[in-house]
Structure 1
Amino acid sequence: MSRPILIYIDADACPVKAEIYKVAERHGLKTFVVANSFMQVPRDPMIERVIVPGGMNVADDWIAERAVEGDIVVTSDVPLADRAIKAGADVIAPNGRPFTEASIGMALATRNLMEDLRSAGAITGGPRPFSPRDRSAFLSALDLAIVRLKRRGFGAATT
Structure 2
Amino acid sequence: MNPSLQTIYVDADACPVKSEIVEICEFVNMKMVFVSSYAHTLTLPASVKVVTVDNEKEAVDLFLMNHAKKGDICVTQDHALASILLSKGVRTLSPRGMVYQEDTITQMLDARYLSQKQRRMGGKTKGPKPFRHEDRVKFIEQLRKIVAGT
TM-score of the two chains, using structure 1 as the length reference: 0.88
**What is the Cα deviation at residue 41 of structure 1?**
3.1
Shift of 1:72: 0.5
Following the alignment from structure 1 to structure 2, what is the Cα–Cα distance between the partners of residues 43 and 78?
28
CA contact (8 A) 1:10 1:74 kept: yes
Task: Give me the whole-angstrom Cα distance separating, in 2, the residues matched to 1:88 and 1:73.
Answer: 11
1:97 deviation in Å? Answer: 0.4
- Identity level (%): 31
* 8 A contact 1:41–1:47 mirrored in 2: no
Which amino acid is the alignment partner of residue 52 of structure 2? I
Secondary structure of the residue that 1:110 maps to in structure 2? Answer: helix
For 2:77, the equivalent position in structure 1 comes to 76
Cα distance in 2 for partners of 1:33, 1:42 equals 9
For the pair 1:62 / 2:52, whether they are aligned, the reply is: no
What's the CA shift for 1:40?
A: 2.5
Q: Tell me the residue number matched to 1:121.
A: 122
List per-residue Cα deviations over 1:95-130 (Å, max 9, x = no partner).
000101111111111111111111111111201100
Q: Could you list the per-position Cα deviations for residues 63-119 of structure 1 after superposition, in whole angstroms to 9, with x for gaps in the alignment?
A: 011111111100000111011101110000010001011111111111111111111
Aligned partner of 1:47: which letter?
A: V
Tell me, in whole angstroms, the C-alpha distance in 1 between the residues paired with 2:111 and 2:7.
29
SS across alignment from 1:88:
coil
Q: 5+ unaligned residues in a row in structure 2: which ranges?
A: none
| Aligned counterpart, 1:155 | none
Say whether residues 1:39 and 2:36 are aligned partners.
Answer: no
Greater relative contact order, per chain length (Cα 8 Å cut-off, separation 6+) = 1
User: For 1:1-159, what aligned pairs fall within 5 Å after superposition?
Assistant: 4-37=5-38, 38-44=40-46, 46-148=47-149
Corresponding position of 1:154: none
